[in-house]
């Protein structure tokens, strides 16, 4: 039976989480309203859970700090952690990934999305457990490689996270990550309606899907105005060259639709984590989204490398 831990200072939220998980068939749920008590219980526990849900905004210790402290516990290092937040700013997303979170959900929950996120993370946990129990079959290895190498296809966030979960520790040094967003929609420079925003992003997604991706690379629509790509085959210069090509493709698409932009500039911001600069997948994602946020704060319309002053416009 799957075991869950939920930490949220709101009793109503905890009861909602337990009821929702029960509807999904998961009844073994331990909930805590105090993050310090949760951490003490987890540290003293003989066995880890299958998944942890953490509210971001809590008194005394917020969810991001709690996430980092959980990751410091040996038996909890591989347990998927999903952050629960009512905020959608990329600073929270970046901090959460840097702390070791695997994913996040925005309150109020969409039940279908909630279930999809849980299933994706439980598949990740099952994959990690299989690795610990022994060597994988050649058939499984081939399936994982095929899942990751999707040249020319624009995947979704779940597919990307499944692929990232299959990257072995000895390949983390080869992992490069980038996060891309459209300035006009990301920075709310224009009051777009939901339909207008979706039309712009649909055009961008279509343009990105037409860009030929080398086998070993993957590009996905992450959420809203943000797209995320990963590479296992590039050195620094090659990755940056591909990122520049992608950014230019998006800019050309935006320039061809001035009416839809309603006068906003066709700017594109990108944050990049270079291969060999992150120790984990979560850290690589966190650095890329952090660099994207920094680029937006500097006016957007450019590429920023995490941990470096280098920018390319």
- What value does the mean pLDDT take over residues 274-281? 90
Joined together, the tokens standing for residue 190 give 């224009």
CATH architecture of 3-132: 3-Layer(aba) Sandwich (3.40)
Question: How does DSSP classify residue 74?
Answer: G
| Number of separate helices (H) and strands (E) present in the chain | 12, 12
- What value does the mean pLDDT take over residues 1-13? 93
- Show the CA angle centred on residue 213, arms to residues 289 and 281, nearest 5°: 35
Query: Residue 255 and residue 261: Cα distance in Å, rounded?
Result: 9
Is the bond preceding residue 108 a cis peptide, omega within 30 degrees? Answer: yes
In the chain, which residues fall in CATH 3.30.70.270? 151-308
* pLDDT tens by residue, 22-73: 999 999 999 999 999 999 999 998 888 999 999 999 988 999 999 999 988 9
* pLDDT tens by residue, 186-205: 876 678 888 898 889 888 88
What is the reported pLDDT for 34?
95
What is the reported pLDDT for 301?
94
Q: Which residues of 216-252 are buried (b: 16+ CB within 10 A; e: fewer)?
A: bbbbbbbeebbbbbbbbebeeeebbebbeebbebbbe
Query: Residue 15 and residue 18: Cα distance in Å, rounded?
Result: 5
313, pLDDT greater than 60:
no
| 152 vs 309, more confident | 309
What is the reported pLDDT for 142?
33
CA dihedral 199, 201, 207, 208 (to 10 degrees): -160
Please list, in sequence order, all residues whose beta carbon lies within 8 angstroms of the beta carbon of residue 58, skipping any fewer than 6 positions away.
7, 8, 9, 35, 66
β-bridge pairing 311-312 and 302-305: antiparallel
Q: Is the pTM value of this prediction over 0.85?
A: no
Rg (Cα) of the chain, in Å, rounded? 20
| 1 vs 8, more confident | 8
DSSP-assigned beta bridge partners for residue 5: 30, 52
Element holding 3 (H helix, E strand): strand 3-7
On whether the CB atoms of residues 155 and 220 are closer than 8 A, the answer is yes
104, pLDDT greater than 60:
yes
In the chain, which residues fall in CATH 3.40.50.2300? 3-132
Element holding 179 (H helix, E strand): strand 176-182
311, pLDDT greater than 70:
no
How high does pLDDT run on average in the chain? Answer: 83
* pLDDT tens by residue, 205-257: 888 887 776 666 788 888 778 899 999 877 899 899 999 999 999 999 999 98
Joined together, the tokens standing for residue 87 give 């905020």
What is the reported pLDDT for 48?
85
Query: Which residue is associated with the tokens 């040094």?
Result: 173
3-class SS at 151?
coil
Query: Residue 12 and residue 307: Cα distance in Å, rounded?
Result: 40
Please tell me the CATH superfamily of domain 151-308, with its number.
Reverse transcriptase/Diguanylate cyclase domain (3.30.70.270)
């Amino acid at each position: 039976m799957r075991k869950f831990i939920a930490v949220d200072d709101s009793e109503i939220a905890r009861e909602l989480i337990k009821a929702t998980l029960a509807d999904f068939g998961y009844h073994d749920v331990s909930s805590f309203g105090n993050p310090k008590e949760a951490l003490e219980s987890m540290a003293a526990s003989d066995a880890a859970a299958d998944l942890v849900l953490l509210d971001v905004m809590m008194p005394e210790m917020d969810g991001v700090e709690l996430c980092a402290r959980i990751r410091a516990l040996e038996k909890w290092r591989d347990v998927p952690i999903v952050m629960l937040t009512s905020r959608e700013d990329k600073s929270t997303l970046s901090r959460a990934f840097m702390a070791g979170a695997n994913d996040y959900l925005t309150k109020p929950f969409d039940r279908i999305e909630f279930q999809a996120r849980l299933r994706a993370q439980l598949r990740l946990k099952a994959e990690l457990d299989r690795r610990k129990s022994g060597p994988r079959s050649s058939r499984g290895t081939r399936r994982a490689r095929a899942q990751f190498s999707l040249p020319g296809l624009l995947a979704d966030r779940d597919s990307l996270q499944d692929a990232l979960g299959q990257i072995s520790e000895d390949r983390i040094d080869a992992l490069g990550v980038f996060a891309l967003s459209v300035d006009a929609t990301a920075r709310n420079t224009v009051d777009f309606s939901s339909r207008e925003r979706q039309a712009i992003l649909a055009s961008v997604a279509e343009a990105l899907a037409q860009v030929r991706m080398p086998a070993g690379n993957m590009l996905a629509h992450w959420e809203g105005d943000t797209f995320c790509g990963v590479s296992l085959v590039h050195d620094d210069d090659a990755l940056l060259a591909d990122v520049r090509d992608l950014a230019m493709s998006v800019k050309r698409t935006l320039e061809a639709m001035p009416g839809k932009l309603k006068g906003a500039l066709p700017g594109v911001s990108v944050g990049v984590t270079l291969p060999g600069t992150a120790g984990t997948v979560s850290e690589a994602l966190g650095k890329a989204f952090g660099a994207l946020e920094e680029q937006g704060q500097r006016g957007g319309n450019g590429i920023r490398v995490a941990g470096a002053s280098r920018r390319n416009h």
